Structure 1
Amino acid sequence: MQARDVKTVEDAIALVEARGLSHVKVGMSDIDGIMRGKYLSKDKFISALTSGFGFCNVVLGWDLNDQLYDNVQYTGWHTAYPDAWVRILPATCRDLPFEKVNGQDMLFFLCEFIEDAAAICPRNLLHRVLKRADNLGFAASAALEYEFFMFKESPESVREKNYHNLTPWTPGYFGYSVLRSTVENDFYHQLLGLCEQMDMGIEGLHTETGPGVLEAAIGVDSAEAAADKAFLFKTFTKVLAQRNNLMATFMAKWSHDYPGQSGHIHLSLKDKATGQSAFYDPSQKHNMSKTQRHFMAGVQKYLPEFMSMYAQTVNSYSRLVPGYWAPLDATWGLENRTTALRLIPGSSKSQRMEVRIGSADANPYVALAAALGSGLMGIEQELEPDEMVVGNAYTQSFPAHLKLPNTLWEAAQRFKGSEAARILFGDAFVEHFAATREWEEREFRRHVTDWELKRYFEII
């Protein structure tokens, strides 16, 4: 039996026994999309497969730098940080090619929080939205694609340089470069191979425009599996880079000199009753079915309210400036890469929409839950989209209701006040997530930036 053949608790136990492993690695997503996990002994792992296990709930109560939130209710000093209950998901089993034990690959399993922690668990959030789709008679498919910059640096060197004067993996603007990918083919093939081995296969990998930047399109799958693959991809791409004395960053915008880094989401729905695409109707313009039109309208309407789920950090909003391939309003267009939403017409297999607003730093479970949930609400409410944008959206003006928040603070307030968010995601998640975004903004406000020093130190 191979890792990706595991479907049940019994399969997982059999494979661990067959490989003679004394320990197994498990991981799960925190609020920011950082993978948190540990090794479990074989006996503990087997017990946890059937009964679950406790994991300190601080991972839902601290930020990406392990600083404790001071404004959330779910956990904190007032609760003394007890364990939250977690379940292991057998069907997520993967080999870890980096880790060999007695000649065998270490096994890795994803987990999710359950019981009271389920209400704010990012993976469980997506599961609840998918249940809504199921109740409406739809099965959702998704594919995520990421841009990320690579550097000839190490965790030590970037700190020694105070994150200044970093050396890109390759110099210059070489978008879609066969030269670069051929010269540096060793890493490309390592990444492609790793993604195949871990069942997060890449259907397209190329250089983007900018020094050392790549774009990877992960293959389409069911929405839940697609989110798992995106989550794994971001973590283990960084692992592979560091093992090659490189670093990869998924920051939304690491330098004002270069374009930002996106995390685009491709979405489609299938009618469960017929097994056919719910988005495809060849009798309609652009093959766009009524269902897809309502779905598009829902994503468009609620994008300003859900913006903090797509752009989760202060840095995310540095990317959202005119002329840098990032939309500024909740617009849609036909094969238009200047709009927030892109209609991609095609066959019954390929008809879909792309949510282009998201940045590479977003938690894939949270961003996908936002896109899918808002689209489903559009179907339920039979919403109609605003007029389609033709041409360059950056040079056009749009109604106020399409304007996106300019800052993380504003986005958090819109989210916290959203009735639709509370219906889709639950009060507990809305309150917790909004509070964590407010924390992120307040942490930023406590610090003095290099820009402020250069601008004000002498002259003001």
Structure 2
Amino acid sequence: MDKQTIKKIIKEKDIHTIRVEFPDLHGVSRNKSLPANRIDEIIEEGITSSQVVFAVMLNNDISEDSGVADEVSYSDMKIIPDLNTFTIVPYLDGTARMIGDIYVKDEPFAQSPRWLLKRVIKQYNELGLCPIAASELEFYIYRQGENGLEPYADSEGTLYTTSPRTDPLGIMSKLQSYLLEMGFDVLYYNNEYFAGQYEFNWKHSEALVQADQSFTFKNVCKELGYMHDLHFTFMGRPSNEAGGSGFHIHFSLDDLKTGVNCFEDTTDKYGMSALMRHFIAGQIRHAEGMTAFLAPTTNSYKRFMRDAFAPYFIGWGLDNRTTYIRVPDERGKATRVELRAACASANPYLALATALISGLDGIKKKLDPGEPFLGDLYRENEGHYKNVPLSLYRSLKNLEKDEVLNDAIGSPLINNFLSMKTAEVEAYRTNVTDWEVDYYSYHM
């Protein structure tokens, strides 16, 4: 989209406010709103913000050794909007938004998740490949009850249904309408396995577009919930009674010139190309390290359980939901890899970038994933497959040792992420929980 088209839309739709957004390390939307009559200035000069926002933890503390706080005198960065992300926000009066790219001293900001993904995509493009991705995001909706938050709908046992019983206020229908207006190619939505749990799907696209849409989707959900006195959460597992919420990511690689899916090979017994096998092998090779980005909170690891349709062991299979990587049955244009390890709380840009980095390493080194696992990997692995890291602490240690991921991501982002998440682990370790009091206090 160009500037003149944007200005025409602003005039025709009576837009009075422009919001410029950018994702932080958590994937949270940070933003500023400006009068739409400043659109030329917004496009040319962007907005400024302190770099320290990339050191802000989820409890609002400032992470130590972030590289973006006192180390740089809390200096500014500039966010220049990407015109291709312009869209009207249908639930806010007279408001449009754009996602921005971050610069410091006219250079791409080294800690920007969006820049990281763009760098990785460029490496694929140099090989004549275009990464394609699709998101499946699960989440819970809660409402305020007499004793605190309770599931929005008493929908236990209504898996794969849509009805007033599972969505009494029609929130999911509203969400669908808003997303369609914002340019999403919506496929479907449904109630998931547990009470108040839902999943939303939209069509695959180029990887950067898909990351932008996943980022947008989560923020739209948060804002829509607030406007209706509801609480949307993408926590990995928000309660003991609830199951996990995943962020299943589908990948394929198209030929940059022809658009042909390079993952299909009709001569192969599984219909899979050597390129696809190498891509899978790279993700398997780096699974232990990249899990820190796919499951970025201490809560994320409460999702990794046997028989929970989340990975417990690191293996791959054909249309097998017990594995870390699943290859759906479809072939032709739909030939693809599904990475099932990501938690719904993951930053979409970091999740896609690290998965693509891992796949690219497999391609460059022509790694072999071996034969697909057949059966129930939860029960039949016989010690041949490694566990998924079962804590954030272990994932961070694995990330520290993964030279490929460290080199590709870069030390500024890696060091800040490790520092922030190590502090989070320590805060969790020293916090006394209700479970501990209930379990130990009477007897000990």
How far apart are the structure 1 equivalents of 2:12 and 2:245? 42
Q: Which has the higher mean CA deviation after the structures are superposed, 431-440 or 275-284?
A: 431-440
Change (3 A) 1:165 1:150: closer
Change (3 A) 1:436 1:392: same
1:15 matched to 2:6: no
The residue aligned with 1:310 is: 294
- Report the CA distance between 1:12 and its aligned residue: 3.0
How far apart are the structure 2 equivalents of 1:347 and 1:181? 36
1:108 matched to 2:97: yes
Share of identical aligned residues, percent?
28
- Report the CA distance between 1:141 and its aligned residue: 0.9
1:76 matched to 2:69: yes
Change (3 A) 1:325 1:370: same
1:454 matched to 2:443: no
The residue aligned with 1:424 is: 408
Change (3 A) 1:87 1:165: closer
Change (3 A) 1:343 1:418: same
Secondary structure (helix, strand or coil) at the match of 2:119 reads helix
User: Contact 1:218–1:230 at 8 Å: present in 2 too?
Assistant: no
The residue aligned with 2:24 is: 30
Change (3 A) 1:274 1:168: closer
The residue aligned with 1:339 is: 323
How far apart are the structure 2 equivalents of 1:432 and 1:455? 36
User: Contact 2:108–2:115 at 8 Å: present in 1 too?
Assistant: no
The residue aligned with 1:3 is: none
How far apart are the structure 2 equivalents of 1:92 and 1:111? 8
How far apart are the structure 2 equivalents of 1:214 and 1:95? 25
Match of 1:296 among 280, 283, 290: 280
Secondary structure (helix, strand or coil) at the match of 2:442 reads coil
- Report the CA distance between 1:173 and its aligned residue: 2.4
Q: Which has the higher mean CA deviation after the structures are superposed, 291-300 or 429-438?
A: 429-438
How far apart are the structure 1 equivalents of 2:336 and 2:8? 40
Instruction: Give every structure 1 segment of 4 or more consecutive aligned residues whose post-TM-superposition deviation is greater than 6 Å.
Output: none
- Per-residue deviation, residues 151-173 of structure 1 (Å, max 9, x unmatched): 123xxx7xx95xx5634422422
- Report the CA distance between 1:275 and its aligned residue: 2.6
User: Contact 1:139–1:270 at 8 Å: present in 2 too?
Assistant: yes
Q: Which has the higher mean CA deviation after the structures are superposed, 76-85 or 188-197?
A: 76-85
The residue aligned with 2:195 is: 211
Equivalent residue runs for 1:406-425 within 5 Å: 406-425=390-409
How far apart are the structure 1 equivalents of 2:326 and 2:26? 26
User: Contact 2:153–2:196 at 8 Å: present in 1 too?
Assistant: yes
- The one-letter code sitting in structure 2 at the alignment partner of 1:152 is R
1:57 matched to 2:51: yes
Match of 1:149 among 140, 147, 161: 140
Change (3 A) 1:42 1:188: closer
- The one-letter code sitting in structure 2 at the alignment partner of 1:337 is R
Change (3 A) 1:22 1:135: same
What TM-score do you get using the length of structure 1 for normalisation?
0.91
- Per-residue deviation, residues 271-314 of structure 1 (Å, max 9, x unmatched): 12443111011111221011101111111111111110100001
Give the gaps of 5 or more residues in structure 2: none
The residue aligned with 2:117 is: 126
How far apart are the structure 2 equivalents of 1:276 and 1:20? 41
- Report the CA distance between 1:245 and its aligned residue: 2.6
- Report the CA distance between 1:118 and its aligned residue: 2.0
Equivalent residue runs for 1:195-274 within 5 Å: 195-274=179-258
- Report the CA distance between 1:433 and its aligned residue: 1.7
- Report the CA distance between 1:117 and its aligned residue: 6.0
Secondary structure (helix, strand or coil) at the match of 1:368 reads helix
1:189 matched to 2:173: yes
The residue aligned with 1:362 is: 346
- Report the CA distance between 1:45 and its aligned residue: 4.3
Secondary structure (helix, strand or coil) at the match of 2:90 reads strand
The residue aligned with 1:4 is: none
The count of corresponding residues between Structure 1 and Structure 2 is 442
Secondary structure (helix, strand or coil) at the match of 2:92 reads strand
Secondary structure (helix, strand or coil) at the match of 1:433 reads helix
- The one-letter code sitting in structure 1 at the alignment partner of 2:265 is D
- Report the CA distance between 1:53 and its aligned residue: 3.0
- Per-residue deviation, residues 100-136 of structure 1 (Å, max 9, x unmatched): 23xxxx1111112124562111111111110111111
The residue aligned with 1:382 is: 366
Change (3 A) 1:323 1:288: same
How far apart are the structure 1 equivalents of 2:322 and 2:412? 35
Give the gaps of 5 or more residues in structure 1: 1-6
Secondary structure (helix, strand or coil) at the match of 1:414 reads helix
